[in-house]
Amino acid sequence: MTAPLRTTDPVVVEVALAGRAYEIVIGRGLLAGLGQRVAALRPGARAAIVTDQVVAESHLAAAQAALAAAGIESNCVIVPAGETSKSYSMFERVCEELIAARIERGDLVVALGGGVIGDLAGFAASAVRRGMDFVQVPTTLLAQVDSSVGGKTGINSGHGKNLVGAFHQPILVIADTALLDTLPPRIMRAGYAEVAKYGLIADADFFAWLEANWREVFAGTPAREHAVAVSCRMKAQIVARDERETGDRALLNLGHTFGHALEAAAGFSDRLYHGEAISIGMVLAFAFSARSGLCAPADAERVARHLAAAGLPTRISDIPGDRPDADRLIELIGQDKKVRRGKLTFILARGIGKSFIAPDIDVAAIRSFLAENLS
Ligand code: NAD
C-alpha cells in the first residue's frame, strides 16, 4: 500500500561511525528502490526478510518485488506481531530459519517492521554465522526515528526488557514514510512521543516547529519527512559521539526512567505502549525539573500541553486500570536503574531543548514527587 512517489529527493543522514558508517535514507515511496540500494552496497548478495504477520499483510509483497526487481533472491521469516516475539524462542526460530534458507555470511538480513522486528532480526543478524550484515526498513514512526538507528539489538529476558542483545549496526536504513500510512493512529501517536523527545532534549526550535506542524506530520505531508529527518540527524550525531552509551547517549533516555517503571507497572501490555509511557515520563521529568527549581514551570506546562494536544497520555491517571503507588514505582525504578547510596541518575531539563544528565538525584525526592502526582 505504498503511496505514489513524490518528486522531492530523499533526505540522507549519515551515521558517522569509523569503519561502519551507514546512511539513513528518508523519503516517501523509497521501498520500491530497496533492491537497487541493496545491490549497490552488496552486489550478488541474497536476502532474508524478517517481518511480522501484520506488516507482512501490507508491505511484504512490495519489499519482495523491490528486491526481485534488482535481481535479488529473497526468503522470508514471518513471526507473530508484538513484543512477545522479542523472546529466546523466537530468536532461535529466526536463527534456525536463516540457516535453513542457506543465508550465508556475505548475504543480508532485511528487518521489515517496527522496533520489535528491528531488535529481533538485528540480534539474529549479529549472531548467525558470527555476524551478518543487515538492513533496517522501519515501518513504525518509533522505529524510523529511534530504534532502527544506533545498533542496539536484542530480546527480553524473564528478568526484564532488552537484557540480552548486542550492539550491531545496520549497513543501511531505509525510512519510507509512506509505510506509516497504514499504522493504527494510536501506534503513530506513541511514536510521535519519541519525535517530540528530540526537541525536548536539544532543539527548542524543532519543538516549536512541532507545536505548529504536528498535524501535518500525522497527515503525511512533507512535514513528516522533515520530522523524521531532524530526529534521525540528532540520533545519528549522538550515536556517532557515544555508540556504547558511556556518555551523552544517555540523553536519549529522557522520560525513560519514569516511563519504564510505568510500563512495567502496566505489565508491558497494551494498557500503555512504550511511547505513551515515554510521554508521561517526559512530562514527569519536566515537572520534577520545575519543582527542583531547574526549569521554568511554564516550560513544563508547555510540554504537557503539546503532548496532550497530540493525543498522548500525560498523567499517571491517564493509564487505564489499577494505578501503582509511589513505593511500587520506586521499586520498579530500582529494578531498571542502579541506585547508589540512595541516589539515581536522571535526565532532567533546564528548559525546552536543554536536557542534561543529572547523576545525583535523591530517591527520596523522587518518591515524594511521585506521591504528590498520584494523590
Ligand atoms: P512494534 O514493532 O511491536 O510495532 C507495533 C505494532 O504495529 C505491531 O503490531 C506491528 O505489527 C504493527 N505495525 C508495524 N508497522 C506497521 C505498519 N506500517 N502498518 C500497520 N501496522 C504496523 O512496536 P514499535 O513501537 O515499533 O517498537 C517497540 C519496540 O522497539 C520495543 O520492543 C522497544 O524495546 C524497541 N525499541 C528499541 C530501541 C533500540 O534502540 N533498539 C529504541 C526504542 C525502542
Task: Tell me the per-residue pLDDT of 258-294, one tens digit each, with 9 for 90 and over.
Answer: 999 999 999 888 999 999 999 999 999 999 999 999 9
Distance, in Å, from the CA atom of 88 to the CA atom of 95, rounded to the nearest integer, reads 11
How confident is the model at residue 283, as a pLDDT? Answer: 98
Q: How far is the CA of 43 from the centre of ligand 1 (A)?
A: 30
Same domain, 175 and 305: no
| Same structural domain, 258 and 173 | no
Do residues 178 and 263 both lie within one domain?
no
pLDDT at 92 over 50: yes
Identify whether 236 is part of a domain. Answer: no
Position 144 in a domain: yes
Domain boundary among 154, 182, 210: 182
CA–CA gap between residue 327 and residue 329 (Å, rounded): 5
Active site residues: 130, 152, 194, 235, 245, 249, 253, 256, 260, 274
For residue 12, give the nearest of 203, 258, 236, 328 by alpha carbon. Answer: 236
Is 266 inside any structural domain?
A: yes
What is residue 1's predicted lDDT score, i.e. its pLDDT?
35
Among 182, 204, 230, give the residue marking a domain's end.
Answer: 182
Q: Is 211 part of any domain? A: no
The count of domains in the chain is 2
Residue that is last in its domain, among 157, 182, 207:
182
Whether residue 126 is found in the same domain as residue 270: no
Confirm if 193 and 278 have CB atoms less than 8 A apart: yes
The model's pTM: 0.95
Per-residue buried b or exposed e for 331-354, using 16+ beta carbons within 10 Å of the residue's own CB: ebbeebbeeeeebbbbbbbebbbb
Query: What's 78's domain CATH number?
Result: 3.40.50.1970
Q: Look at residues 175, 172, 75 and name the one whose alpha carbon lies nearest to residue 128.
A: 75
Angle at CA 108, nearest 5°, toward 3 and 243? Answer: 90
174 shares its domain with 261: no
Q: How far apart are CA 51 and CA 136, in angstroms?
A: 11
> What mean pLDDT, rounded, does the chain reach?
94
Cell of 321: 486500570
Kindly indicate the confidence band of residue 246, based on its pLDDT and cuts at 50, 70 and 90. Answer: confident
pLDDT by residue (tens digit) across 347-368?
999 999 999 999 999 999 999 9
pLDDT confidence band for 4 (50 / 70 / 90): very low
Q: Give the pLDDT mean for 241-257.
A: 92
CATH number reported for the structural domain that contains residue 354 in this entry: 1.20.1090.10
- Nearest-atom index, ligand 1, CA of 273: 25
Q: How far is the CA of 118 from the centre of ligand 1 (A)?
A: 8
Output 342 or 195, whichever has higher pLDDT.
Answer: 195
At residue 252, does pLDDT exceed 70? yes
Phi (first) and psi of residue 254, to 5 degrees: -50, 125
- Per-residue pLDDT of 186-235, as tens digits, reads 999 999 999 999 999 999 999 999 999 999 999 999 999 999 999 999 99
| pLDDT at residue 3, as a whole number | 39
| pLDDT tens track for 289-323 | 999 999 999 999 999 999 999 999 999 999 999 88
Residues 96, 79: contact at Cβ < 8 Å? no
Q: For 206-221, what is the HEC assignment? A: HHHHHHHHHHHHHHCC
* Residue 3 grid coordinates: 503511496
User: What residues make up the domain containing 49?
Assistant: 11-182
Domain membership flag for residue 298: yes
Alpha carbons within 13 A on the beta-carbon side of 1: 11
Residues 70 and 168 occupy one common structural domain? yes
Where does ligand 1 bind, in terms of residues with CB under 6 Å? 52, 54-55, 58, 81-83, 86, 113-117, 119, 139-140, 142-143, 146-147, 150, 152, 161-162, 179, 182-183, 187, 274
Are 24 and 169 in the same domain?
yes
